């Protein structure tokens, strides 16, 4: 039922009058057998008893001089193919055709649907050509074949820009490819584009304009109401006050005909002679807490991917929360990828944490000796089972001349997820630490909260190791938690490994890479991290040899210790000092790496007495203080 509720939201202020029946459409669905109202995007919808959900029908095929785009694909994914016409980047290609959008090229081409061809189904019969109703499966768009020039004029006087444009049309019909005015923040920017070969033809219009970059329409900035409609130049002056009250207005011109899109934070009134489209907002209450239904969070949300539905994403939370279905809906790992893409800059993580409800997450603290230092590898319960890796990381860093210790932080994993750890107490434990290094991207992400309380460098060990490897970017998976973007989105996908461990779910990861920066992913997919290629294992046999060397040294100094026994019971402190100095002398024969291994694994050797361990600890401490 939740998906039906999600798609019952038709705009920022309108919902379906009744809960529709929902049919999910993908690339293999036989559309000839389906009837119903098509839904191509989350932003806009039309009421219907049966909804065909095409929002996940996505993909672009390059056909040379044109592209074939599946109808649910947002224009944001298409723009890199250099299409000759395009719409709002957050709208879908199929939606722009279905709703009759005016996009780039409106002055020359008219509406988008008039310039493209579709592969569609009308009454169950497939057809190809100009859009003639029915369900759109794919859209064919020509690529731009000419070099385009972009010129612009900016003013804080909206009237001046409008009158300039009106004067143009008194001289005739200027042969621009596109004429757009973007009004935002008190500035009106007039931008025209045209094939460069028309420069002389248009010189009288562009002589006082400057070269500019193209402006792309999307759903920024934050707003609560969207209005779409058409008017003429005279009618444009009638809606001027609405334009001034808007957060952003986009005006597209074709001769004296104007297609407008107005994004506002307050409901606006329009005269009867300024008709709005059916999918424009009403003056009703917007209760979406700032969400503009762009769906960008759906495209990047690992939890939604794992659960197999956009309901379990921030979009689902914002749409279903007013209906009372938010609690326990999105119990994710708070990676923050949604925050990075949100056009409204919402505080999504705070909202997610408010409603998240986790089952018991039973992660124990890693079992490893601590080693205080000003620079430390930090382990939380997330690192349980990765103690060996932590020691390898420490030995690697020491080999690079960096003195690094180890500290454990006993923070409940749910408290990390919900950012409710006692960070003051954690900062107190790290009082003498100026750098922490994590071995998992999750800890790197969550421990950033410490920067609110103290000046602290936070690094991720795999990033420190990577430059010493020969790993190429095209074969390396980048975890979602460390905020690095690559050109290959597939290598930026979340592996779902940690997410599954906190959700008690098991799904197949779609990550395909030879290496990963995430050790939890490496374990799940049986691949390597950079550290694994540089320092694959700990040589515990060498540790056995180290212990043997220690015992051999004891035999060599047995006479010294035996001679000192007469102090025992008489000058006990002197006897202890002789013992300590003797063992310390033997330890001084060891390499730093041998000492560190001995320190971390000495509890595994029964031949070492408690006194031996105490002396080893003192020598390690001395090593770090020198």
Provide the 10 A C-beta neighbour count for residue 189: 16
Q: Give the distance from CA 235 to its chain's centroid.
A: 42
Residues 6 or more apart whose CB falls under 8 angstroms from that of 615 comprise: 580, 583, 584, 587
586 phi and psi angles, rounded to 5 deg: -70, -40
pLDDT, one tens digit per residue, over 433-467 is: 999 999 999 999 999 999 999 999 999 999 999 99
Q: 100-104, 268-272, 417-421: lowest mean pLDDT where?
A: 268-272
Asked if 122 and 133 touch (Cβ cutoff 8 Å), the reply is: yes
Report the pLDDT value the prediction gives residue 571, as an integer from 0 to 100.
Answer: 46
Residue 57's alpha-carbon distances to 4, 37, 39, 303, 380, in angstroms, are 17, 15, 11, 19, 41
Rounded Cα–Cα distance for residues 305 and 441 (Å): 20
Q: Which two tokens stand for residue 83?
A: 């299409």
Rounded Cα–Cα distance for residues 362 and 82 (Å): 51
Q: 152-156, 402-406, 597-601: lowest mean pLDDT where?
A: 597-601
Residues 6 or more apart whose CB falls under 8 angstroms from that of 4 comprise: 19, 20, 21, 22, 51
Degrees (nearest 5) of the Cα angle 606, 611, 614?
105
Span between the terminal Cα atoms of the chain, in Å: 66
Q: Which residue has the higher pLDDT, 102 or 608?
A: 102
Helix (H) or strand (E) holding 22: strand 21-24
Average per-residue pLDDT in the chain? 91
Residue 363 has pLDDT above 60, yes or no: yes
- SS percent in the chain: helix, strand, coil, step 5: 40, 20, 40
Q: Which residue has the higher pLDDT, 20 or 249?
A: 249
- DSSP 8-state class, residue 399: H
Q: Sorting pLDDT into bands at 50, 70 and 90, what band is 564?
A: very low
- The total number of residues shown for the chain amounts to 626
Report the pLDDT value the prediction gives residue 605, as an integer from 0 to 100.
Answer: 78
Closest CA to 475 of 524, 527, 543: 527
Report the pLDDT value the prediction gives residue 443, as an integer from 0 to 100.
Answer: 98
Residue 561 has pLDDT above 50, yes or no: no
pLDDT, one tens digit per residue, over 526-540 is: 999 999 999 999 887
Residue 98 has pLDDT above 70, yes or no: yes
574 phi and psi angles, rounded to 5 deg: -65, -40
Residue 416's alpha-carbon distances to 40, 304, 358, in angstroms, are 37, 21, 12
Asked if 383 and 416 touch (Cβ cutoff 8 Å), the reply is: no
Report the pLDDT value the prediction gives residue 572, as an integer from 0 to 100.
Answer: 47
Rounded Cα–Cα distance for residues 543 and 546 (Å): 5
Report the pLDDT value the prediction gives residue 573, as an integer from 0 to 100.
Answer: 55
Residue 578 has pLDDT above 80, yes or no: no
Q: Which two tokens stand for residue 194?
A: 């045209």
Report the pLDDT value the prediction gives residue 485, as an integer from 0 to 100.
Answer: 67
Q: Which residue has the higher pLDDT, 596 or 368?
A: 368
Q: What angle, 0 to 180 degrees and rounded to 10, lies between the N-to-C axes of helices 610-625 and 592-601?
A: 140
Rounded Cα–Cα distance for residues 405 and 370 (Å): 7
| High-pLDDT (> 90) share of the chain, % | 75
Closest CA to 351 of 318, 378, 386: 318
Q: Sorting pLDDT into bands at 50, 70 and 90, what band is 1?
A: low
DSSP, collapsed to helix, strand or coil, labels residue 468 as helix
Residue 53 has pLDDT above 50, yes or no: yes
Q: Sorting pLDDT into bands at 50, 70 and 90, what band is 559?
A: very low
Report the pLDDT value the prediction gives residue 577, as an integer from 0 to 100.
Answer: 56
Rounded Cα–Cα distance for residues 249 and 260 (Å): 7
Asked if 40 and 72 touch (Cβ cutoff 8 Å), the reply is: yes
Task: Please enumerate, as own/partner, the contacts of 453-461 that have beta carbons within 8 Å and a separation of 24 or more.
Answer: 453/423, 453/424, 453/427, 454/427, 454/430, 456/430, 459/435, 460/517, 461/377, 461/393, 461/396, 461/397, 461/437, 461/531
Asked if 171 and 204 touch (Cβ cutoff 8 Å), the reply is: yes
Report the pLDDT value the prediction gives residue 549, as an integer from 0 to 100.
Answer: 66
Residue with tokens 């026994």: 565
Rounded Cα–Cα distance for residues 311 and 320 (Å): 8
Residue 596 has pLDDT above 90, yes or no: no
Rounded Cα–Cα distance for residues 96 and 153 (Å): 28
Residue 570 has pLDDT above 60, yes or no: no
Q: HEC string of 512-579? A: CCCEECCHHHHHHHCCECHHHHHCCCCCHHHHHHHHHHHHHHHHHCHHHHHHHHHHCCCCHHHHHHHH
Residue-wise DSSP of 152-208: EEEES-HHHHHHHHHHHHHS-----SEEEEEEETTEEEEEEEEEGGGTTTTHHHHTT
Report the pLDDT value the prediction gives residue 474, as an integer from 0 to 100.
Answer: 87
Q: HEC string of 287-340? A: CCCCCCCCCHHHHHCHHHHHHCCHHHCHHHHHHHHHHCCCCCCCCCCCCCHHHH
pTM of the prediction?
0.90
pLDDT (average), residues 340-360? 96
Q: Tell me the pairing of strands 50-53 and 210-211.
A: unpaired
């Amino acid at each position: 039922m939740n998906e039906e509720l999600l798609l019952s939201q038709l705009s920022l202020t309108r919902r379906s009058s009744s809960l529709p029946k929902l049919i999910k459409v993908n690339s293999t669905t036989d559309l000839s057998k389906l009837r119903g109202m098509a839904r191509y995007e989350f932003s806009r919808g039309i009421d219907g008893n049966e909804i065909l959900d095409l929002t996940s029908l996505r993909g672009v095929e390059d056909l040379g001089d044109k592209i074939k785009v599946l109808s649910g694909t947002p224009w944001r994914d298409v723009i890199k193919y250099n299409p000759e016409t395009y719409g709002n980047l957050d709208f879908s290609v199929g939606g722009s055709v279905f709703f009759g959008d005016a996009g780039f090229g409106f002055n020359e081409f008219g509406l988008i649907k008039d310039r493209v061809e579709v592969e569609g189904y009308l009454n169950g019969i497939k057809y190809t050509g100009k859009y003639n109703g029915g369900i759109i499966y794919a859209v064919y768009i020509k690529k731009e074949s000419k070099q385009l020039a972009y010129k612009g004029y900016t003013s804080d006087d909206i009237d001046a820009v409008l009158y300039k444009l009106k004067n143009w049309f008194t001289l005739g019909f200027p042969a621009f490819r596109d004429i757009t005015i973007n009004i935002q923040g008190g500035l009106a920017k007039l931008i025209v584009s045209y094939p460069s070969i028309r420069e002389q033809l248009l010189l009288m219009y562009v002589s006082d304009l400057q070269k500019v970059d193209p402006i792309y329409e999307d759903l920024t900035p934050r707003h609560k109401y969207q209005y779409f409609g058409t008017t003429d130049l005279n009618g444009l002056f009638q809606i001027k006050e609405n334009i001034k009250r808007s957060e952003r207005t986009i005006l597209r011109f074709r001769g004296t005909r104007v297609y407008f899109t107005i994004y506002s934070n307050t409901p606006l009134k329009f005269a009867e002679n300024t008709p709005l489209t059916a999918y424009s907002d009403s003056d009703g209450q917007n209760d979406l807490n700032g969400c503009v239904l762009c769906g960008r969070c759906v495209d990047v949300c690992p939890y939604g991917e794992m659960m197999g539905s956009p309901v379990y994403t921030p979009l689902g939370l914002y749409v279903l929360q007013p209906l009372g279905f938010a609690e326990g809906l999105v119990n994710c790992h708070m990676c923050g990828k949604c925050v990075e893409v949100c056009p409204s800059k919402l505080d999504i993580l705070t909202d997610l944490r408010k409603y998240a409800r986790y089952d018991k997450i039973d992660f124990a603290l890693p079992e490893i000796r601590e080693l205080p230092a000003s620079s430390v590898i930090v382990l939380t319960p997330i690192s349980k089972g990765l103690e060996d890796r932590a020691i390898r990381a420490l030995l690697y860093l020491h080999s690079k001349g960096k003195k690094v210790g180890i500290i454990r932080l006993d923070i409940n994993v749910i408290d990390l997820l919900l950012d409710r750890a006692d960070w003051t107490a954690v900062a107190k434990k790290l009082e003498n630490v100026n750098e922490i290094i994590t071995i998992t991207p999750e800890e790197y992400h969550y421990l950033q909260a410490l920067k609110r309380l103290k000046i602290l460098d936070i690094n991720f060990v795999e990033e420190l190791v990577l430059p010493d490897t020969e790993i190429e970017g095209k074969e390396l998976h980048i975890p979602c938690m460390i905020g690095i973007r690559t050109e290959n989105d597939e290598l930026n996908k979340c592996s779902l490994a940690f997410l599954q461990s906190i959700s008690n779910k098991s799904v197949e990861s779609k990550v395909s890479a030879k290496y990963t920066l995430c050790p939890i992913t490496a374990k799940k997919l049986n691949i390597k991290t950079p550290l694994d290629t540089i320092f694959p294992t700990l040589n515990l046999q060498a540790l056995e040899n180290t212990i043997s060397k220690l015992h051999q040294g004891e035999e060599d100094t047995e006479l010294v210790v035996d001679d000192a026994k007469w102090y025992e019971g008489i000058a006990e402190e002197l006897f202890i000092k002789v013992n300590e100095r003797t063992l310390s002398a033997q330890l001084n024969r060891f390499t730093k790496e041998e000492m560190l291994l001995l320190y971390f694994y000495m509890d595994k050797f029964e031949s070492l007495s408690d006194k031996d361990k105490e002396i080893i600890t003192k020598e390690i401490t001395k090593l770090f203080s020198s």
